[in-house]
A = this chain, B = another copy of it.
Amino acid sequence: MRRLNDGPLAVLVGERVFSSEFKYRKGTEVFGEGDAAEYVYQIITGAVRTYKLLADGRRQINSFHLPGDMFGFENGASHRFSAEALVETKVRLMRQRSLLHTVASREGSTTNLLRLVTQSLQHAENHMLLLGRKTALERVAAFLLEMDDRQSHPDVMILPMSRRDIADYLGLTLETVSRALSVLRDDGLLRFIGTTQRQVALLNRCGLAQYDA
C-alpha cells in the first residue's frame, strides 16, 4: 500500500519515483512567473500559494497547495504564474522532461497525467464561478469548506495562510474576509481555537454549506 504522501507523482511513474527533495523557508519563492519550467513539484509537508500579479500589485491567487498536491506542471517552456511557500515547506521535485519521458513509455499513464491537469482545470472552473458570481459570505464559506475537505474534516482546521492570502484567493480585501469570518463566528458556525486566529473549528458544516450558494 502506498504511503499517503506518495500522491500523484508516484502514481504516474509507478513506484520508481526518480526525484529529489527540497525545502523552502516561509515566504520564499519556489518559482516566479516567466521562469523556465524545469521541474514539477509535489508537496510533502507545508503549503504553497500559486498566483498572478498585475503591474500595480493586485494579486490573484489561483490555488493553495497542501501536502500531496502537485503544481508547476507546464506545457510551455516557462511558468505562467509564481509559487511561494506559505510556511516552511518540503517538496519532492522532478524534471518535467523525465516525467514526460517516463509517462510516454508506460501504458496507461497518459490518462493519469491528463487526469492531473484536468483536476486543476476543474478547480479553476469552480473558482471562476466563485469569483464571478458569489458574494463575500459565500466565498468565505466556500473557502472554509474547501480547506476542510482537503484536510479531511479535522476537528480543528489549521489555516497556513494569512487573511491577505485568503482575500487574494477569493477576490476580496483582507478586511472583508475578516468581517465575513466574524459574521460566521457570531452566527455560531465556527469558532477560533487558542490565541491565534488561524485555527478554526467548524461547528456546523451544513449551515456553512447554506451560506455557500
Listed in ascending order, the chain A residues whose CB lies under 8 Å from chain B are 52, 54-56, 58-60, 62, 74-75, 80-81, 100, 103-104, 110-111, 113-115, 117-122, 124-129, 131-134, 168, 170-171, 213
Partner of A133, one of B60, B121, B122, B128: B60
Chain B residue with Cβ nearest A61: B132
| Residues of A contacting B: mostly | helix
Q: How many copies does the complex hold?
A: 2
A104 touches B110 (CB 8 A): yes
In contact, A129 and B213 (Cβ under 8 angstroms): no
Q: Which of B81, B129, B133 contacts A125 (CB 8 A)?
A: B81
- Whether the Cβ atoms of B60 and A129 lie closer than 8 Å is yes
Q: Which residues of B contact A120 (CB under 8 A)?
A: 121
Supply 13 further A-B pairs (C-beta < 8 A) apart from A55-B213, A62-B125, A127-B128: A52-B126, A60-B132, A62-B128, A74-B118, A75-B118, A80-B125, A100-B111, A103-B110, A124-B124, A124-B125, A124-B128, A131-B171, A133-B171
Whether B80 lies near A122 (C-beta < 8 A) is: yes
